[in-house]
Structure 1
Amino acid sequence: MDTRMSISNRRRARGAASSSLIFSGLIVIVIIAAGWFLVYRPHMEATEGSSPAQTVVKKQAAAKTTPPPANVSAMSTDELLSEAGKAVREERLLSPQGNNAFEFYLKVLERQPDNQVAKEALRETFPFGANAAEQDINNRNFDEAQREIDLLAKADPDNYTLTILRSKLDAQRKTATKEQQQAQADLLAKQQASQRQQQAAEAARKQQEEAAAQAAADKAAPEQPKQQTAQAEKPAQSQPQQTAQPRIQDAVLVSSVNPRYPSTALRRRQEGWVDVQFTVDDSGNVTDATVVDAQPKHVFDRAAVTAVERWKYRPALNNGKPFPVTMRRRLNFTLGGAQ
């Protein structure tokens, strides 16, 4: 009798233990199923709903207007995964900063390094994120592209796609820099060409004015000796020697020195001219050299005056006697040589 009761008691104990195990197993299954339906399934639907072409081609207008969560650090893991799924649906994979799917998933992995939902999501969305970063490189949003590449590197630092993206970003940056430098060089060349044209036009105008003044002087020159002759004819009977017409000869340059091109102007590739007025004394030496006009101002003045002061003339003659005269000359400074 005791034996039968002992066997019966053991059977009831085993039955109770089996029921407890079955109940515990059912609870675990229910929790896993709930997690799948509440977290993983929405994320998978979000990721499957966006094709790679849509992710790359569509503009992220919604991403720019979607405000970030108020306090990301205070959010739970489920809330972070929910925000990440929402960001994927709205194609906010890598941007805007602080409100994108990658940053939410990475925040989950900071808390739970083995979270399979976040790991799988980053793995599946990595190619689309790489395409978005490449699009920013092509659009020359270099700073944004660099931030996105750094974010991709946190998700998968050994992915070879990162090497390709970094190389392309570096090449595009160098190309943009060269284009900018070329544009600046073209603008400078255009400005210099315009300046040379203005200087040439100004020089031509000055030459025309000088030619007109010289023509007027040449026309007036014969009249002056006639007036002097008429005045001399009055006492001609008593002083016949004064009736002779005076012979005036201009000063003639016999030795010149080319001006030295200023080093500052040479470095800046500047050109110009200087009008110098000076006196040739009765010995043929140059004195009182001064600048009366120049273009540009105060760039070639000193070089021009220094050169003119070293010139040597055959002095002007009046009836064979030397006398001082005032002269004016223009010195041109071009990159081909000063003269």
Structure 2
Amino acid sequence: MEMQQNKGNRAIVIWLFTGVAMIIVQVLLGGITRLTGSGLSITEWKPILGALPPMNEVAWQAAFEKYQQIGQSKYINSHFTLSDFKWIYFWEWLHRNWARLIGIVFFVPFVWFIIKKKIDRSMINPMIVLFILGGLQGLIGWIMVKSGLNEENLYVSHIRLAIHFIAALGLLWYVLWFALKLSMPSSRIVQAPGLRKLSGWILGLLVVQLVYGAFMAGLHAALAATTWPSINGAFVPSGMFSQGGFLADITHNQITIQFIHRTLAYVLTLLIAVWYLRSARLPQLAAVRALALLVVLLQVFLGVLTVLNSGIKIPLGFALAHQFTGMALLMVMIWGRFVTRP
């Protein structure tokens, strides 16, 4: 994906950064749908007609009756009134429609740029990959929802949720990298192989941490231990190996997942502090290094607040702020790695 940075790319760069912002919003909407239990409220996938919500009370009642056929409604939300259903329906509808809007925002300007000959040959293949990634993300989302539309599964699997989440972050990573290639002059790039290697380790661990963040949200694992700095009075809590196997514990045991999530947060903070100190001699990294340290500390702080304020349910505001800073940290470290690319 090699291409030249020039002033003619300005409109394309704005377009791509708009896409980055919209993907961030979409991921946050996904977090809301999960934490409010809204993801299974729409039981059909209609790519075109589904853009409109039920238009009258008869249509609303029909949609509600379809929802009442699945296990989540029968065993968890059996007390729901039509008004309650409309609330969760709204969040899933907004999540899906925002995805449709992202598709329009990417596709229409793309066609316009081709007509105006603003896109050169070097950009075509990356653009095609971008659309494929976007389409796959939508497909993954529907497969995830469809898996919960039965009487057995009360929620969508947290494993499928993590795949959906990481696929969205992969798309975010790709679009951001593409935008940086078109916007950042070569004079801002520095040769720092050691620092680049360290940022690669940080990004790798951060992806694992984000997977465990999805596990935390999917299993509501914050409710398993609402204390800090200890975990229910211990730094290595009991019950971590009670699921019958190592793999089962690290992927399904709430207390184990929370322990891993916390531990990775401390390790990442330490590694980013080392990266911050080692990058001090490079003026090109002044802004990104300051942001990296600030965001990781804020991320840990918000994680602590989320845990401490989790009682009967996880506080939506703190959880979303924690999720947003996780994405922000990912983008900052992508920026840092981009600046030190060969």
Pick the TM interval, shorter chain: under 0.3
Q: Which has the higher helix share?
A: 2
TM-score by length of 1: 0.19
Q: Which has the higher strand share?
A: 1
Higher relative contact order (CA 8 A, sep 6+): 2
**Higher gyration radius (CA):** 1
TM-score by length of 2: 0.19
